Amino acid sequence: MTAATEQLAPSAPAVEENRAKRNLLPYFLLAPGVLWLVIFFLIPIITAVSASVQTGSLDEGFSLTWRWANYSDMFSTYNAEIVHSMIYSVACTVLCLALGYPLAYFIAFRGGRWKNLLMALVIAPAFTSFLIRTIAWETILSDHGWVTRVLVDTKATNVMVDLGLITNNHQLLNTPFSVVFGMVYNFLPFTVLPLYTSLEKIDPRLHEAGADLYGSGYKTWRYVTWPLSLPGVIAGTLLTFIPAVGDYINAYMLGSPNTQVIGQVIENEALRDQFGYPTASAMGVVLTAGTLLVVMLYVRKAGTEDLL
Amino acid sequence: MTNLDAGGDLRLVGLTKRFGAFTAVDNLDLTIPQGSFFALLGASGCGKTTTLRMVSGLEDPTAGRIYLGDADVTDTKPYKRPVNTVFQNYALFPHLDIFENVAFGLRRRGVKDVKKAVEDILALVELGHLAKRKPTQLSGGQQQRVAVARALINQPQVLLLDEPLGALDLKLRRQMQIELKRIQTEVGLTFVHVTHDQEEAMTMADTIAVMNAGGIEQMGSPEELYENPATTFVANFLGQSNLVAGSISGKDGDTVTVEAHGSRIALPAARSRVESGAAIIGVRPEKVHLVHGGQDAPAGHNVFTGGVVTDASFIGVSTQYLVKMPWGEELAVFEQNAGQEIFRPGSEVSLHWDPSQTFGLDGSQDIEAGAEIDDEAAA
């Protein structure tokens, strides 16, 4: 091909120049994206990793001393917060799936002409700021709010105490329950949207085929609908889990010092402790790497790389 | 497994389905004998698919009962009926390979060892070598055969086929028609086949029920329906017919005479659906022959004179003519190309045919019923 072009073209240098331009074009097009990633992703990561093994203070400045003990110190000091983050985000993801799947299923298969409206309603809360909505829940769930009063009056809070959801029978706020509740509320649309998309794509005739081939309602769901909706399940749970691990607004607004999560620790260490910079960085690195690891194992386990 | 030996006639009694104000199936009575290849033929919207869906249980009838042998299955859930469907667009499970698609029904009924059964049925439809493929990797014809295998493996008492060949091109359709007929003969199950394609119905079915507006217009063997249509709808929908309005002028023994546009047309009394009064006479285009306007037709033949050829299409085995008659109607004539003259448009001709090939219908019907629908279906 190259030889033929050179033979045929009388003005070889012009062609040569043209080709050179064409070969560079993809790089020009890529440049803004690459630059963006370098400045806002690669450099911060390197900075964070390097900061995590430094020592010093805000007044005297930090220097790179390769103090890996920052990591072990951080683990021993904040293991409770790490455990909280993991438990809350897993609980949030599982609850979002449990609530979101039936919801998405209903909208996709029973929604009829209301489908789009119903999906708009699922997304509608996002038009208000995340922060404001969480503050609103703080008010709704407060000790003197009607929700708490009704639950206390009906003795439902006693059951919740027995289940370990709350710590005393007259308060919903400042408990793991309220933190996870807020997270589920805030992240539910992230689960529902991809689920709805993959459920909606399923041909309803496949359900009829399942029923025709001796599949009861449950069996047809288990062997036809569920496997076909797996891409949505995986996408939805990832989109929920990843931000949920790092979330600290819900724990901050709806929780107490007993429900602190990694995000809060990072904030405290980085902004309020003059020696805390390296610790905050170490936690950030662990959070990122840990999330990545969990996601990789999950996708591997689901065996659905080709589904995504 | 289902019991194949139980008297497995499929009986529909007073079956009715209404969607709001629309009656899709209207008080249908039908018995389909065990082991037959039965076709429900009709245009879209005639209620044939709704009937099929009620038999499979995917649709609940508004009224009426469905019996399989002696068992009333009207209220049986679809997944408990010994009935399987080959869906219009196959509805194969995209996440399962061919083997698992075919094994689906057996597995859901808790059959442990499916390997042998699946391999046997895949061999029957000649797809054994594709067992590990996914449905999307197969051609239309192959997918169709998977759909048949997936239903047949359950040995249902009745196999329902919902326009199973609609998505295939013409050549493949012909091939699959023969294939399906072969499989049906081999396994001996009752096949109920829904189609709008009259040729498909005639090629495959032992018995055809022509459906129109939620009811059965006529039922019988393909030959019977073609040669002796009971209504103008059947005459027009199944093949092509020349229908001419007239009135009965006399009956002489086995022969009925009809006056139509100044011609006396004779037909066998056995083939006339009316005794007196207004009648419609019919004759199929391939039974009619042409002679030049001045020439005499063979003695004893029915004759219409004064026709003008408006269109002549030479299609190899035959030449198809449209002939405009003095009263304005256009009649169709298919002449075998066996050496006779080919008439050009504009030629003046007479039409003649053997009286025994004539059928007589009740003159009170719409003479064009079913004609336009057929054009639509053929398009």
Closest chain A C-alpha to B315 CA, distance in angstroms? 41
Q: What is the pLDDT of residue A3?
A: 45
Q: How far apart are the first and last CA of chain A?
A: 38
- The whole-model pTM stands at 0.80
Query: Distance (Å, rounded) from C-alpha A292 to C-alpha A79?
Result: 19
Q: pLDDT-derived band of residue B169, with 50, 70 and 90 as boundaries?
A: confident
Query: Distance (Å, rounded) from C-alpha B224 to C-alpha B29?
Result: 20
Mark whether B35 and B171 lie in a shared domain.
Answer: yes
State chain A's maximal CA–CA distance in angstroms: 94
- The answer to whether B352 faces chain A, any CB pair under 8 Å, is no
Mark whether B251 and B220 lie in a shared domain.
Answer: no
- The answer to whether B76 faces chain A, any CB pair under 8 Å, is no
The percent of residues in chain B predicted with pLDDT above 90, rounded, is: 63
Mean per-residue pLDDT, B331-346: 89
Q: Which of A205, A208, A213 sits opposite B150 (nearest CB)?
A: A213
Cα nearest neighbour of B109 on chain A: A214
Is residue B186, in this structure, part of any structural domain at all?
A: yes
The β-bridge relationship of strands B158-162 and B190-195 is: parallel
In this structure, are residues A261 and A287 in contact, taking their beta carbons and an 8 Å threshold?
Answer: no
* Model confidence at B6: pLDDT above 50: no
Cα nearest neighbour of A220 on chain B: B108
Q: Which of A212, A219, A220 sits opposite B56 (nearest CB)?
A: A212
Q: Output the domain CATH number for residue B356.
A: 2.40.50.100
Query: Distance (Å, rounded) from C-alpha A53 to C-alpha A38?
Result: 22
Q: Which residues of B touch A223 (CB under 8 A)?
A: 104, 107-108
Q: What is the pLDDT of residue A304?
A: 56
Q: pLDDT-derived band of residue B274, with 50, 70 and 90 as boundaries?
A: confident
Query: Distance (Å, rounded) from C-alpha B96 to C-alpha B99?
Result: 8
Mark whether B254 and B371 lie in a shared domain.
Answer: yes
Q: Which residues of B touch A206 (CB under 8 A)?
A: 91, 93-94
Cα nearest neighbour of B103 on chain A: A213
Q: What is the pLDDT of residue B235?
A: 92
Is residue B146, in this structure, part of any structural domain at all?
A: yes
Contact A224 B93 (CB under 8 A): yes
In a 10 Å sphere around its CB, with 0-12 CB exposed, 13-18 middle and 19+ buried, how is residue B207 labelled?
Answer: middle
Mean pLDDT of chain A: 88
Mark whether B43 and B74 lie in a shared domain.
Answer: yes
Alpha-carbon distances, residue B51 vs A26, B80, B158, B183, B285 (angstroms) = 60, 18, 14, 24, 33
Which of A14-18, A40-44, B97-101, B154-158 shows the lowest mean pLDDT across its residues?
A: A14-18
Query: Distance (Å, rounded) from C-alpha A220 to C-alpha A198?
Result: 17
* Model confidence at A187: pLDDT above 70: yes
- The answer to whether B77 faces chain A, any CB pair under 8 Å, is yes
Query: Distance (Å, rounded) from C-alpha B217 to C-alpha B279?
Result: 18
The percent of residues in chain A predicted with pLDDT above 90, rounded, is: 63
- The answer to whether B300 faces chain A, any CB pair under 8 Å, is no
Q: Output the domain CATH number for residue B111.
A: 3.40.50.300
* Model confidence at A10: pLDDT above 60: no
Query: Distance (Å, rounded) from C-alpha B249 to C-alpha B226?
Result: 26
Closest chain B C-alpha to A204 CA, distance in angstroms? 9
Contact A216 B77 (CB under 8 A): yes
Q: Which of B78, B93, B150 sits opposite A206 (nearest CB)?
A: B93
Q: Which residues of B touch A222 (CB under 8 A)?
A: none
* Model confidence at B1: pLDDT above 80: no
Which among A246, A292, A287 is positioned nearest to A49, based on CA atoms?
A287
In a 10 Å sphere around its CB, with 0-12 CB exposed, 13-18 middle and 19+ buried, how is residue A254 labelled?
Answer: buried
Mean per-residue pLDDT, B349-370: 90
Q: What is the pLDDT of residue A303?
A: 63
Beta strand extents in A10-57 (DSSP E only): 54-57
Mark whether B194 and B294 lie in a shared domain.
Answer: no
More confident residue, A91 or B174: A91
In a 10 Å sphere around its CB, with 0-12 CB exposed, 13-18 middle and 19+ buried, how is residue A121 labelled?
Answer: exposed
Please identify which residue in the block is written with the tokens 């370990």. Answer: A164
Q: pLDDT-derived band of residue A14, with 50, 70 and 90 as boundaries?
A: low
Q: What is the pLDDT of residue A64?
A: 87
Q: pLDDT-derived band of residue B298, with 50, 70 and 90 as boundaries?
A: confident
Domains of chain B: total = 2
Mean per-residue pLDDT, B111-129: 91
Please give the interface size between A and B, counted as residue pairs whose CB atoms are below 8 Å apart.
65
Which among B338, B331, B290, B288 is positioned nearest to B316, based on CA atoms?
B338
Mark whether B193 and B292 lie in a shared domain.
Answer: no
In this structure, are residues B32 and B192 in contact, taking their beta carbons and an 8 Å threshold?
Answer: yes
Alpha-carbon distances, residue B21 vs B17, B24, B217 (angstroms) = 10, 10, 22
Cα nearest neighbour of B59 on chain A: A208
Q: What is the pLDDT of residue B372?
A: 66
* Model confidence at B375: pLDDT above 70: no
Q: What is the pLDDT of residue B25?
A: 93
Domain ranges of chain A: 78-302
Q: Does domain A78-302 have CATH number 1.10.3720.10?
A: yes
Is residue B318, in this structure, part of any structural domain at all?
A: yes
Q: pLDDT-derived band of residue B350, with 50, 70 and 90 as boundaries?
A: very high
Contact A213 B104 (CB under 8 A): yes
Which among B45, B64, B44, B46 is positioned nearest to B54, based on CA atoms?
B64
Is residue B2, in this structure, part of any structural domain at all?
A: no
- The answer to whether B121 faces chain A, any CB pair under 8 Å, is no
Q: Which residues of B touch A205 (CB under 8 A)?
A: 87, 89, 91
Closest chain A C-alpha to B27 CA, distance in angstroms? 25
pLDDT tens digits, one per residue of A20-35: 777 888 889 999 999 9
More confident residue, A102 or A15: A102
Q: pLDDT-derived band of residue B337, with 50, 70 and 90 as boundaries?
A: confident
Mark whether B222 and B287 lie in a shared domain.
Answer: no
Cα nearest neighbour of B111 on chain A: A214
Domain membership of residue B308 as a residue range: 240-378
Mark whether B334 and B223 lie in a shared domain.
Answer: no
Query: Distance (Å, rounded) from C-alpha B151 to C-alpha B180?
Result: 13
Mark whether B193 and B335 lie in a shared domain.
Answer: no
Does the predicted interface ipTM exceed a cut of 0.90? Answer: no
